[in-house]
Amino acid sequence: MSRRIEYTPPSSAQVCASVLTGFDCYVERRGIDPVELVERFALNPHMVKPGQQIPLTNVCEALFQASRLLHDETIGLDYGADFEPRSLGLFGYLALSSETVSLSLQNMARFFAFHQQRSALRVTPGPKATAIEYAIDDPGIVNRRQDADLSIVVIRNILANAEGGALPLLSVEFEHERPSSIRRHEDIFGCRIRFGCKSNRILLNNADLDRKMMTRDPHLLSLMAASLHTAIPPIQTKTVSQRVCDGIMMLLPEGEPTLTRVAEAMHVPVWTLRRQLTQEGANFTELVDEIRRTAAESHLGEGIMSMLEIAQALGYAESSGLSRAFARWHGMSPRTWRHLQGRREPSSH
């Protein structure tokens, strides 16, 4: 029998709790009792220390649920529009204390791993424009639309501290679909907005990169950079099995994952991938089963998704597929397991 491969659940990515500074007050102002969201996703801003990290999936789900409760597609955008970059703590002060717009962007990209794990902030210069691209690289986080809006508008807030007035953006692009109204996006960004794109990004004129930051402070920048250097944990290289698990998670919502499809996504010949898994004592079918079990337990414990939604997220065509698998794992139905965990069935909105 193959040895058991320990796979980190998709909720392992962390983000600095400071990203939700004022979120409880914001949702209360919008008419939602913040206690339910704050307690449900362990986001109490008064119980976290500066620099402390919380699960990124909790943040994304809290924004998603707030959007559903208010029937508002632009919660992330609206909350982020007035977000003060200094509230981000070390990361925010690093960006603001940089000398120029260009150096601010470079420092943000360089130290983004401190602020948020399994995510990326990339700065790509072009002949006339520079792209600032944001992405969550954790395939286990599905509801990321509001997070994308929030993250892009916070970057815009940082850029707004450049000298010479508002920094004009050439365009803003989002991965998610176009909302029913884009007026709020247009009012905030003041440029062309595109949806359904390959990435979330801002396009900035190269001529504006040398503009000074009004908040520049060389001494503070030196202190922030030194603190961040010591705070970022060393990057650990993933095993082949862990990379395969990431690929499986990414492909599950599209249906039954196969070794061939995962190999294609990893740009590795299927025979090579099979040999590497064998060398690590791993079995592809067992990996798929273990990931489904772990993810199913996580989704059921959160009490957010219906049985059909969970089944589809795990690559099952029908909820009966999830029920059969759960009976094999635990000897009971998923609804019974959820009840024994003290979780309610999700309410429909």
Q: What is the pLDDT of residue 349?
A: 44
Is the same domain home to 226 and 252? no
The residue segments making up the domain with residue 282 are 240-340
Report the b/e string of 231-245 with b at 16+ CB within 10 A: eeeeeeeeebbbbbb
Is the same domain home to 109 and 255? no
Contact 277, 244 (CB under 8 A): yes
Q: What is the pLDDT of residue 83?
A: 95
Is the same domain home to 72 and 121? yes
Is the same domain home to 178 and 314? no
- CATH value at residue 15: 3.90.1520
Is the same domain home to 179 and 85? yes
- CATH value at residue 277: 1.10.10.60
What is the full per-residue pLDDT of the chain (349 aa) written as tens digits? 333 333 334 446 889 888 988 888 899 999 988 877 776 776 665 555 556 788 898 899 899 999 989 999 999 999 999 999 999 989 999 999 999 999 999 999 989 988 998 888 998 887 788 999 999 988 778 889 999 999 999 999 999 999 987 789 999 999 999 999 999 999 999 999 999 888 899 999 999 999 999 999 999 999 888 888 776 655 455 688 888 887 887 788 778 889 998 888 777 889 989 999 999 899 999 999 998 888 888 777 766 678 888 888 888 888 899 999 999 999 989 888 888 876 666 655 4
Residue 312 lies in a domain: yes
Residue 75 lies in a domain: yes
| 169-173 and 192-194 strand pairing | parallel
Is the same domain home to 311 and 188? no
Is the same domain home to 63 and 186? yes
Is the same domain home to 226 and 286? no
**Nearest CA to 63 among 144, 172, 120?**
144
Q: What is the pLDDT of residue 199?
A: 86
Residue 207 lies in a domain: yes
Q: Which of 195, 212, 231 is the last residue of a domain?
A: 231
First to last CA, the chain: 45
Residue 349 lies in a domain: no
CA distance 158 to 132: 12
**Number of domains, the chain:** 2
Is the same domain home to 31 and 143? yes
Residue 2 lies in a domain: no
CA distance 50 to 319: 42
Q: What is the pLDDT of residue 49?
A: 57
CA distance 211 to 14: 33
Contact 221, 94 (CB under 8 A): yes
Residue 345 lies in a domain: no
Is the same domain home to 257 and 222? no
Is the same domain home to 227 and 252? no
Residue 62 lies in a domain: yes
Q: What is the pLDDT of residue 239?
A: 82
Residue 1 lies in a domain: no
**Nearest CA to 338 among 306, 290, 292?**
306
Is the same domain home to 64 and 194? yes
pTM of the full structure: 0.67
Q: Which of 231, 263, 287 is the last residue of a domain?
A: 231
Q: Which of 162, 196, 231 is the last residue of a domain?
A: 231
